[in-house]
Amino acid sequence: MSSLSEFQLLSVLAQEMNMRKASERLFVSQPALSQRLQTIEKDWGTKLFIRSQKGLALTPAGEHVIAFVNEVLKKEEKVRETIYSLQEGVSGTLKIAVASIVGQNWLPQVLKKFIDKYPQVKLSLVTGWSSEILNCLYDDQVHVGIIRGTPDWKGVKVHLFRDPLYLVDREITNPDQVLETDRPFIQFKSDSNYYQEIQDWWMRNFKTTPKRTVVVDQIETCKQMAFNGIGYAILPGITLTKAERDICKIPLVNEKNEPLSRDTWLLGYESAFQLKQVQAFVELIKEYVSES
């Protein structure tokens, strides 16, 4: 039977499918890694990986072994979490998945406070679109997720904050001026519900499509293009806390003249909220939100 360290080795190899990348992650040389893999394969009595110039590929036997390995590692992690929860103080690993916009603009200040207060806790952080964060939660890859929008979630759901949406530009001071400018409407790729919300606002106000549109991958790129006068954009307030003074920020409103805004939520399963490190993180976030 292989040891847990060998299971970790196999898991990393299956993730990377490349000997060089796996050796870098495991902090061993490629020859040493290759030798250890040969020993493990000898223990299992079969080839687990096929080597080629393009990298590694799992054999049919390897697929079964890796599935078993990942299951064992997942159970081992659960046992460790239980052990940590029985100990005094707050320790263990806190696994968080967070919407990229929150991870870039809001979470760093929270994590700094958390690390200072609980130095024994190890952090694992994943960022992405809110839909990807929900998938991480459904797949039990993380303890808690922080997402944007209005989630359909049956577990624990904590509202963190709401920030308004703004039309941002260096020149435009009234929304109707977008119909006069020849500069483009700069948009960033996002979850469909956010995109649809912007489209609904636009068509409700202007009944026509923008003259020109530029779509970029990242919200930060969109923001910098608007800040540099290349075009105008619609951005959430969370990204504008350090906006330049000569940037015009026009609040968006709905048909009832109420501010359009985006909600941010913290989600998780009830079982995760029993862990001390999760409880400590949630309490610290609540304190931070109330102070802010």
Residues 127 and 72 placed together within one structural domain of the fold: no
Q: Are residues 247 and 285 in the same domain?
A: no
Distance between CA atoms of residues 286 and 216, nearest Å: 34
pLDDT at 194: 83
Together in a domain, 153 and 268: yes
Whether the predicted pLDDT of 87 surpasses 90 = no
> Residue 102 CB: number of other CB atoms within 10 A?
23
Can you state the angle between helices 4-16 and 60-86, rounded to 10 degrees? Answer: 120
What's the token pair of residue 74?
A: 């997942």
Query: Same domain, yes or no, for 89 and 118?
Result: yes
Q: State whether 177 and 236 are in the same domain.
A: yes
- pLDDT bin (cut points 50, 70, 90) of residue 56 is very high
168 with 258, same domain? yes
Check if the beta carbon of residue 162 is closer than 8 Å to that of residue 238.
no
Domain boundary residue among 81, 114, 147?
Answer: 81
pLDDT of residue 1: 44
Mean of pLDDT values over 276-288: 93
Quote the percentage of the chain above a pLDDT of 90.
64
State percent of the chain over pLDDT 70: 97
Domain harbouring 257, CATH code: 3.40.190.290
Q: Would you place residue 86 in the very low, low, confident or very high pLDDT band (cuts 50, 70, 90)?
A: low
Crossing angle for the helix pair 276-291 and 107-117, to the nearest 10 degrees: 130
pLDDT band at 190 (very low <50, low <70, confident <90, very high): confident
Q: How confident is the model at residue 264 (pLDDT cuts 50, 70, 90)?
A: very high
The CATH number of the domain holding residue 42 is 1.10.10.10
Last residue of a domain, one of 50, 81, 112: 81
Same domain, 117 and 46: no
Last residue of a domain, one of 53, 81, 109: 81
Q: Do 134 and 210 share a domain, yes or no?
A: no
Question: Does pLDDT of 152 surpass 90?
Answer: no
* Per-residue pLDDT at 260 exceeds 70: yes
pLDDT at 166 over 70: yes
Q: Is pLDDT at 13 greater than 80 in this prediction?
A: yes
Rounded Cα distance between 27 and 9, Å, is: 11
Asked whether residue 273 falls in the same domain as residue 152, the answer is: yes
Which pLDDT value is given to residue 2?
58
pLDDT at 4: 75
CB 99 within 8 A of CB 147: yes
Q: Can you tell me the distance from the alpha carbon of 37 to that of 56, in angstroms, rounded to the nearest whole number?
A: 12
- Looking at residue 192, its pLDDT comes to 67
Instruction: Indicate the number of domains in the chain.
Output: 3
Mean pLDDT, rounded, for 131-154: 91
Domain residue limits at 52: 4-81
CATH number at residue 115: 3.40.190.10
